[in-house]
Amino acid sequence: MFDGFGRKIDYLRISVTDRCNFRCQYCMAENMVFMPRTELLSLEEITLIAERFIGHGIKKIRLTGGEPLVRRDMRDVIQRLGRKVKTGELAELTLTTNGSLLTEYAEHLAYHNVRRINVSMDTLHPEKFAEISRGAKVDQVLAGIAAARQANIKVKINMVALRDFNQDDLIPMVEYCAEHGHDLTVIETMPMGDVGADRKLEHIKAEEFISPLLERYSINPIEYKSAGPARYMGVEPLGLRLGLITPLSNNFCDSCNRLRLTTDGKIYMCLGHDAHVDLRAAVRNEGIEAVDQMLQKALKLKPLRHDFNDQLEGSAKILERHMNVTGG
């Protein structure tokens, strides 16, 4: 599949639920209202749609949310899509999770061919972790990560860079990741949905956020490339691979290879735009074959780039959609 600008699209992110057992301050409002369950795609719909997408050239799928592991039939979703890795139809099935339920899920994930996961953790400091997630326990996440490693799943930690909040926590995080063999990615905040905070005040460029590392370590760009938008550097002598996701300070839309399926069956072609097609309605009315035509329509809608910068500067409207609907 190619979009209107000639970019090859082979990566699908599926938000399997908008619900979550955390309430991270940059992601959700405190009193978040979730979609009625009837709006959610069923297990059957998710797998049929994913299979159809695979038929059109999707090679990698990331399951995300909300918190994907709070979905009741998540074991079945993993099992069915994991089969596609076994048959070679999918090159990779991965997951982004807050890690809190990994002790229950790690073995199931590994058994069904999930070899790598991303776990979000913005600080190792218990009180600060509870503050940013509005009540969650970092120890539970650390135990989940340990269970994943035990099951032989490679872990990458996602750390959102928050001005005046967690820059001091970067060195402990870097040391923890190096010690345990995890990659680390620093992500700039994106202005998605009203969370009751000033998005401009919380934002800090990733380059600025990592500047304390320069005093202690040698940091150099490396060739490594993942399926996502991060650019990587090596942190020596720790031997740590550090990724930066810089949607605002260093645009990477030129190489975007992704499309996103939401919990309620919409295809969004860009995290930072509202343009979408309603796949669920089409599939429910016309059957699974409707995917083919809707995909062609969606590919034409993919914008050249997001306009998060304009949103942050106030010259474009902040999106109403929160991150948990389209998934990170």
Q: Which is nearer to ligand SF4, 57 or 135 (CB)?
A: 135
Q: Which is nearer to ligand SAM, 47 or 118 (CB)?
A: 118
Phi-psi region of 167 (alpha: psi -120 to 50; beta: other; left: phi over 0): alpha
Token pair of 231 as six digits: 């650019």
Q: How far is the CB of 95 from ligand SAM (least distance, A)?
A: 8
Q: Residue 265, interface with ligand SAM (CB under 6 A)?
A: no
Partners of 158 in beta bridges: 120, 185
Query: Which amino acid, residue 173?
Result: M
Q: Residue 24, interface with ligand SF4 (CB under 6 A)?
A: yes
Give residues 232-261 in contact with ligand SAM (rule: CB under 6 A).
none
Q: Residue 209, interface with ligand SAM (CB under 6 A)?
A: no
CA gap 221, 235 in Å, rounded: 9
Q: Residue 95, interface with ligand SF4 (CB under 6 A)?
A: no
Q: How far is the CB of 304 from ligand SAM (least distance, A)?
A: 21
Residue 190 binding target from ligand SF4, ligand SAM, none, CB below 5 to 8 Å by type: ligand SAM
Name, in order, each residue with C-beta under 8 angstroms of 232's C-beta and a sequence gap of 6 or more.
221, 222, 224, 225, 226, 241, 242, 243, 244
Q: Which of 95, 324, 325, 326 binds ligand SF4 (CB under 6 A)?
A: 324
The answer to whether residues 134 and 23 touch, using CB atoms and an 8 Å cutoff, is: yes
CA gap 268, 277 in Å, rounded: 7
Q: How far is the CB of 83 from ligand SAM (least distance, A)?
A: 23
Residue 23 binding target from ligand SAM, ligand SF4, none, CB below 5 to 8 Å by type: ligand SF4
CB atoms within 10 A of CB 297: 12
Question: At residue 326, what are phi and psi to the nearest 5 degrees?
Answer: -90, -20
CA gap 203, 198 in Å, rounded: 9
- Applying CB under 6 A, the site for ligand SAM has a residue count of 20
- Positions touching ligand SF4 (CB under 6 A) are 20, 22-24, 27-28, 65-67, 98, 120, 323-324
